[in-house]
């Protein structure tokens, strides 16, 4: 009994207190079979939206094949369909405001150390330098295409997105890529994709690209072969596309990325190797965006050896004893984990319904008006064309009591011929011109719904308030478009802020030359490492700048003759010309200082002539003449005149 008790560790928990072993996770999305079940259901949920997306693209451009419609008997030989592309017109009408907001600003993002300073156009020297460096790096060739495409997609379908990716080929190793409305899959009930368990981004790749990505990105050679082997020795190898999905999912609190592939997009029922991959094209791994973080790890140290001598027998050689040493904290640099999806959705409008799928684009909103206007315009043109046709009938009554259909004769009338019986000529009635007013009414109503109230104002014969109405309508349109631009501004700020976080980290760890000090040749880490509040620059550089400049120009006539005129002039130049304005202001300041010095010289010369006549008489006549000439030239320079 005693030996048994001696073998029990007194610090070990009792059997009843021991924690049960955690079962292995069976529903992890990293397991391909588990994820495949989830993704298959997601694709089924998206079928309706994918069909709607293709239909909306066709409705937007409303392509009409008259030849095919006539061949199918759906359109008569003398009929045409005149497409009125209302949705496309409204989309293009709205785009200049978005593009101006994005491209006409001199900077991509505003950085401020203090949140209260975000509304100020000019920041400190370090903030201005930071904005300039970041803007130059992010405006690489064709940088505007991705936001432009996402904007067009959101206007058309209701939402679209851009992704922030790590790219070694870009100046700041960060790029903004367009995703596509139907190439970003997420749960259909989602309110915010950042709260989703996973999202999927689609890429369309050829078989050759898949083969190349085996060596370039580590795709599975077996899975690529399984997908493409059916194309061997066929004419489909170079024309078939594969929809490859980049899967981003949250697991263990971090974002992981994996790749899979589904059936080819253009199989059209022909033979293929398989319906989809049987495993990952590339297995899950933590998402890497180039960022680095420093971790402190306790590194064990080797034991210290000491010689211990028995004090009772000092003559006996000592015994070497190993003394354990405490672990030492050591800093190591590892890849930073990402906890947020680098994909940012732009919604066309924001309502109380937060579901992303509830958002509708211009094609959905304009479809009824587009159909109505197309029908009215086509009907007017068809009736007009038919009214130009001439028909003839022999001047004789039909058989009394006969209900037979009119008989068409094979006789063709020819010019300059004489016929032996009278013929009545007739044609269809011309269309009523009021149809065009109805068409205009639909256009006016649609413009009002679209927020283009300035376009919707019509001149009225019973009123002379047209100019006032147009001015009020323009102000109302500006307010309505401002709501849309606010949503757009928030979206731009979101993905540029994420890009800045990556650039900031790369610059801090000297993986990137950014904000280099010309004296030391090193990055200004003291400036880069600070926390900055950010804001889309278009708010100030485009929207507020135009409003502010208009107000200052209106006040110039009142302040021009007051001491405040120089200060207002400087603000006007800086606001109107962000790049050249400071240089022009400096020229004005230099000229003002020069005139102040000349005025001082003129005062001294005047005092020399008037207050000290005795000293003046002692000067030589030649010296007196030179001083008088100098005084005259100074006065002329100050007055802006020319010497005569």
Which carries the bigger pLDDT value, residue 560 or residue 450?
Answer: 560
Q: Is 166 helix (H, G, I), strand (E, B) or coil?
A: strand
For residue 357, pLDDT beyond 70: yes
Sign of CA dihedral 437, 438, 444, 447: negative
Query: For the residues 523-528, what does the mean pLDDT come to?
Result: 94
Which carries the bigger pLDDT value, residue 225 or residue 435?
Answer: 225
Q: How confident is the model at residue 614 (pLDDT cuts 50, 70, 90)?
A: low
Query: For the residues 102-123, what does the mean pLDDT come to?
Result: 88
Q: Is 472 helix (H, G, I), strand (E, B) or coil?
A: helix
Nearest to 289 by CA among 341, 216, 244: 341
For residue 590, pLDDT beyond 70: no
Q: Which of 359-363, 441-445, 565-569 has the lowest mean pLDDT?
A: 441-445
Give 489-510 pLDDT, tens digit per residue. 999 999 999 999 999 999 999 9
Distance between CA 369 and CA 375 in Å, rounded?
10
User: Residue-wise over 531-569: b if at least 16 C-beta within 10 A, else e?
Assistant: ebebbbbbbbbbbebeebeeebeeeeeeeeeeeeeeebb
Question: In the chain, how long is the greatest CA-to-CA distance?
Answer: 158
For residue 165, pLDDT beyond 90: yes
| Cβ–Cβ under 8 Å, residues 84 and 378 | no
Q: How confident is the model at residue 555 (pLDDT cuts 50, 70, 90)?
A: confident
For residue 398, pLDDT beyond 80: no
Distance between CA 374 and CA 446 in Å, rounded?
14
For residue 465, pLDDT beyond 50: no
Q: Which of 57-71, 201-215, 553-567 has the lowest mean pLDDT?
A: 553-567
Which carries the bigger pLDDT value, residue 336 or residue 435?
Answer: 336
For residue 580, pLDDT beyond 80: no
Q: Is 480 exposed, middle or buried (0-12, 13-18, 19+ CB in 10 A)?
A: middle
Place of tokens 């906890």: 339
Do the bridges between strand 241-251 and strand 198-206 make them parallel or antiparallel, or are there none, so unpaired?
Answer: antiparallel
Per-range mean pLDDT, top range of 176-180, 302-306, 420-424: 176-180
> Which two structure tokens, joined as six digits, stand for 340?
């947020």
Give 227-261 pLDDT, tens digit per residue. 887 666 666 667 778 889 999 999 988 999 999 98
Q: What strands lie across the sheet with 159-166, from one edge to the other? A: 174-178, 159-166, 343-347
pLDDT number for residue 13: 46
Q: How confident is the model at residue 523 (pLDDT cuts 50, 70, 90)?
A: very high
For residue 148, pLDDT beyond 80: yes
pLDDT number for residue 171: 95
Q: How confident is the model at residue 467 (pLDDT cuts 50, 70, 90)?
A: low
Which residues are CB-contacts of 486 (< 8 A; sequence separation ≥ 6)? none
Query: For the residues 389-416, what does the mean pLDDT come to?
Result: 75
Per-range mean pLDDT, top range of 284-293, 397-406, 430-439, 535-544: 284-293
pLDDT number for residue 598: 63
CA contacts within 13 A on the Cβ side of 567 = 4
For residue 416, pLDDT beyond 60: yes
Query: For the residues 425-447, what does the mean pLDDT come to?
Result: 76
Give 19-77 pLDDT, tens digit per residue. 455 444 457 889 999 999 999 899 999 999 999 999 999 999 998 888 999 899 888 88
Q: How confident is the model at residue 578 (pLDDT cuts 50, 70, 90)?
A: low
pLDDT number for residue 17: 43
Give 619-638 pLDDT, tens digit per residue. 667 766 776 776 677 666 65
For residue 421, pLDDT beyond 50: yes
For residue 379, pLDDT beyond 60: yes
Q: How confident is the model at residue 192 (pLDDT cuts 50, 70, 90)?
A: very high
Helical spans, DSSP H, in 104-182? 125-138, 145-157
DSSP class per residue in 587-633: HHHHHHHHHHHHHHHHHHHHHHHHT-HHHHHHS-HHHHHHHHHHHHH
Per-range mean pLDDT, top range of 145-154, 264-273, 309-318, 413-422: 145-154
pLDDT number for residue 133: 95
Per the rule left: phi > 0, alpha: psi between -120 and 50, beta: everything else, 605 is: alpha
Which residues are CB-contacts of 230 (< 8 A; sequence separation ≥ 6)? 271, 272, 273
Q: Which of 181-195, 274-288, 577-591, 597-611 has the lowest mean pLDDT?
A: 597-611
Continuous segment of H or E residues that includes residue 111: strand 109-112
Query: For the residues 413-419, what does the mean pLDDT come to?
Result: 82
Per the rule left: phi > 0, alpha: psi between -120 and 50, beta: everything else, 34 is: alpha
Q: Is 254 helix (H, G, I), strand (E, B) or coil?
A: strand
CA 229 from centroid of its chain's CA atoms: 39
DSSP class per residue in 344-405: EEEES---S---GGG---HHHHHHHHHHHHHHHHHHHHHHHHHHT--EEEESSPPPTT--PP
Q: How confident is the model at residue 120 (pLDDT cuts 50, 70, 90)?
A: confident
Distance between CA 314 and CA 61 in Å, rounded?
103
For residue 2, pLDDT beyond 50: no
Per-range mean pLDDT, top range of 14-28, 292-306, 494-508, 607-621: 494-508
Query: For the residues 305-314, what does the mean pLDDT come to?
Result: 74
pLDDT number for residue 478: 47
pLDDT number for residue 454: 42
Distance between CA 473 and CA 454 in Å, rounded?
4
For residue 402, pLDDT beyond 70: no
Q: What's the chain's average pLDDT? A: 80
pLDDT number for residue 466: 52
Continuous segment of H or E residues that includes residue 569: helix 565-576
Which carries the bigger pLDDT value, residue 449 or residue 140?
Answer: 140
Distance between CA 122 and CA 133 in Å, rounded?
15
User: Residue-wise over 446-472: b if at least 16 C-beta within 10 A, else e?
Assistant: bbbebbbbbbbbeeeeeeeeeeebeee
Phi/psi at 244 (5° precision): -100, 130
Q: Which of 148-162, 209-223, 236-250, 426-440 has the lowest mean pLDDT?
A: 426-440
Which carries the bigger pLDDT value, residue 482 or residue 505?
Answer: 505
Continuous segment of H or E residues that includes residue 499: helix 466-508
For residue 356, pLDDT beyond 90: yes
Q: pTM, whole model, 2 decimals?
A: 0.74
């Amino acid at each position: 009994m005693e030996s048994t008790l001696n073998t029990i560790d007194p610090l070990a928990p009792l059997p009843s207190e021991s924690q049960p072993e955690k079962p292995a996770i069976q529903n992890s999305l990293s397991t391909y079979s588990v994820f495949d079940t989830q993704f298959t259901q997601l694709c089924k949920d998206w079928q309706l939206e994918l069909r709607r997306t293709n239909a909306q693209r066709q409705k937007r451009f409303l392509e009409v094949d008259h030849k095919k419609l006539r061949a199918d008997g759906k359109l008569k030989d003398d009929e045409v369909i005149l497409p009125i592309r209302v949705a496309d017109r409204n989309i293009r009408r709205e785009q200049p405001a978005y593009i101006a907001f994005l491209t006409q600003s001199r900077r991509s993002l505003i950085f401020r150390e203090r949140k209260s300073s975000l509304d100020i156009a000019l920041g400190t020297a370090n903030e201005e330098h930071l904005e300039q460096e970041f803007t130059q790096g992010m405006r690489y060739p064709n940088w505007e295409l991705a936001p432009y495409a996402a904007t067009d997609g959101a206007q058309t379908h209701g939402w679209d997105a851009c992704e922030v990716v790590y790219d070694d080929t870009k100046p700041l190793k960060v790029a903004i890529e367009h995703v596509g409305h139907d190439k970003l899959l997420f749960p259909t009930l989602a309110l915010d994709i950042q709260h989703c368990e996973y999202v999927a981004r689609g890429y369309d790749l050829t078989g050759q690209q898949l083969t190349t990505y085996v060596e370039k990105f580590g795709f599975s050679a077996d899975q690529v072969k399984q997908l493409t082997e059916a194309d061997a020795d066929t004419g489909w190898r170079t024309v078939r596309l594969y929809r490859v999905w980049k899967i981003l999912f949250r697991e263990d609190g971090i974002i992981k990325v994996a790749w899979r592939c589904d059936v080819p997009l253009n199989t059209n029922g022909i033979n293929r190797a398989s319906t989809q991959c049987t495993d990952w094209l590339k297995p899950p791994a933590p998402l890497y965006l180039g960022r680095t973080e420093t971790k402190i790890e306790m590194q064990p140290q080797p034991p210290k050896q000491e010689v211990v001598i028995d004090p009772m027998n000092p003559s006996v050689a000592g015994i070497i004893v190993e003394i354990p040493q405490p672990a030492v904290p050591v800093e190591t640099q590892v890849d930073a984990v990402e906890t947020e999806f680098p994909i940012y959705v732009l919604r066309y409008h924001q309502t109380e319904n937060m579901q992303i799928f509830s958002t509708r684009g211009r094609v959905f909103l304009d479809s009824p008006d587009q159909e109505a206007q197309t029908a009215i315009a086509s009907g007017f043109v068809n009736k007009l064309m038919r009214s130009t046709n001439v028909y003839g009938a022999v001047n004789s009554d039909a058989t009394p009591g006969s209900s037979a259909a009119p008989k068409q004769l094979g006789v063709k009338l020819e010019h300059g011929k004489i016929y032996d019986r009278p013929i009545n000529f007739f044609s269809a009635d011309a269309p009523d011109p009021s149809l065009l007013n109805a068409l205009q009414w639909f256009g006016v109503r649609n413009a009002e719904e679209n927020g283009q109230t300035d376009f919707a104002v019509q001149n009225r014969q019973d009123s002379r308030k047209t100019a006032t109405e147009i001015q009020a309508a323009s102000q109302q349109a500006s307010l309505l478009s401002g709501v849309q631009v606010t949503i757009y501004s928030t979206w731009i700020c979101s993905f540029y802020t994420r890009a800045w976080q990556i650039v900031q980290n790369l610059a801090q760890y000297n993986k990137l030359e950014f904000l280099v000090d010309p004296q030391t040749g090193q990055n200004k880490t003291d400036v880069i490492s600070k926390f900055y509040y950010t804001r889309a620059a278009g708010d100030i550089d485009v929207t507020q700048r135009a409003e502010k400049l208009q107000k200052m120009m209106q006040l110039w006539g009142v302040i021009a003759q007051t001491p405040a005129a120089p200060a207002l002039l400087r603000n006007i130049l800086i606001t109107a010309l962000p790049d050249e304005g400071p240089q022009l202001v400096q020229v004005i300041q230099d000229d003002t200082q020069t005139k102040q010095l000349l005025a001082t010289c003129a005062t001294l010369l005047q005092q020399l002539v008037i207050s000290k006549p005795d000293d003046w008489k002692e000067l030589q006549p030649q010296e007196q003449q030179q001083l008088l000439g100098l005084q005259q030239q100074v006065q002329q320079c100050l007055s802006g005149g020319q010497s005569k």
